[in-house]
């Protein structure tokens, strides 16, 4: 039985706990969470042990694997920081694929990836570390998705889309074939992206247009 710790007890974590339980083979020993009032309580029947300061001790006790239960709302930085913290202590970040999702045999998934109910990851897709493909997301053939990218529910990516690290794609957005989305960009909910998106930009609408550009140094 593989021992695993969850980092962050919230809505996203609920889905991952159910995936873990459906797949079997893991012992979920507990959660860490930065909210001190949650220490000693339970979450989906699992104890909340304390904050992330417990990670070195858990690693020393033989807990080798971890997953991130924190979701992302436009900003993926919290997930990125937790990923760096856990891997820095030597945890292996587990990849979880819901039984109702489809991942093509030729697709390549990094560490800490989550593919949620009904999502499709098709032929020759590459998903980087700590990518989440939420429920109903479609990632078509030959897409390349960088580290820490968030694909919200119902996102549709046509073939050959390239999304650079730390971008956020909002619920129901669609991106046509061959488009490149720059690092740290935000694609608004329901947007239809028909041209490349520069790094750090926020785009919205149908067709998508630039709403904002990240400040220098961000």
- The per-residue pLDDT for range 173-202, each reduced to its tens digit, is 999 999 999 999 999 999 999 999 999 999
Predicted pLDDT of residue 216: 41
For the CA atoms of 183, 186, 190, 193, the dihedral, rounded to the nearest 10 degrees, stands at -40
Predicted pLDDT of residue 75: 85
- The per-residue pLDDT for range 120-149, each reduced to its tens digit, is 999 999 999 999 999 999 999 999 999 999
Under DSSP, the state recorded for 215 is P
Q: Which residue matches tokens 């809505």?
A: 11
Predicted pLDDT of residue 215: 53
Task: Give CA–CA dist 70/79, Å, rounded.
Answer: 6
Task: Give CA–CA dist 203/188, Å, rounded.
Answer: 6
Question: Is the peptide bond between 136 and the residue preceding it cis, with omega within 30 degrees of 0?
Answer: no
Least Cα distance to 43 among 35, 194, 195 occurs for 35
Decide: helix, strand or coil at residue 94: coil
Q: What domains can you pick out in the chain, each with its CATH number?
A: 2-93 (3.40.50.20), 96-213 (2.160.10.10)
Q: pTM of the full predicted structure?
A: 0.93
pLDDT > 80? residue 217: no
Q: Which residue matches tokens 């709403």?
A: 211
- H-state helical runs in the chain: 11-23, 55-60, 77-88
For residue 211, what pLDDT band results from cuts at 50, 70 and 90? confident
Active site residues: 141
């Amino acid at each position: 039985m593989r021992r695993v710790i969850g980092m962050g007890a919230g809505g996203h974590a609920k889905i991952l706990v159910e995936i873990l339980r459906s797949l079997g083979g893991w012992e979920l020993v507990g959660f860490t969470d930065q909210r001190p009032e949650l220490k000693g309580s339970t979450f989906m029947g699992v104890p909340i042990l304390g904050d992330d300061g417990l990670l070195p001790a858990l690693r020393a006790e033989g807990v080798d694997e971890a997953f991130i239960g924190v979701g992302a709302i436009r900003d993926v930085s919290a997930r990125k920081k937790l990923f760096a913290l856990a891997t820095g202590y030597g945890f292996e970040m587990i990849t979880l694929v819901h039984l109702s999702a489809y991942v093509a045999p030729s697709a390549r998934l990094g560490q800490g990836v989550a593919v949620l109910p009904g999502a499709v990851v098709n032929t020759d897709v590459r998903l980087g570390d700590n990518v989440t493909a939420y429920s109903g997301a479609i990632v078509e053939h030959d897409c390349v998705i960088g580290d820490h990218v968030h694909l919200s529910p119902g996102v549709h990516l046509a073939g050959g889309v390239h999304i650079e690290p730390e971008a956020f794609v909002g619920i129901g957005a669609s991106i046509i074939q061959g488009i490149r989305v720059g690092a740290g960009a935000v694609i608004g909910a329901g947007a239809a992206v028909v041209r490349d998106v520069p790094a750090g930009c926020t785009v919205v609408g149908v067709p998508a247009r630039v709403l904002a550009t990240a400040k220098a140094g961000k």
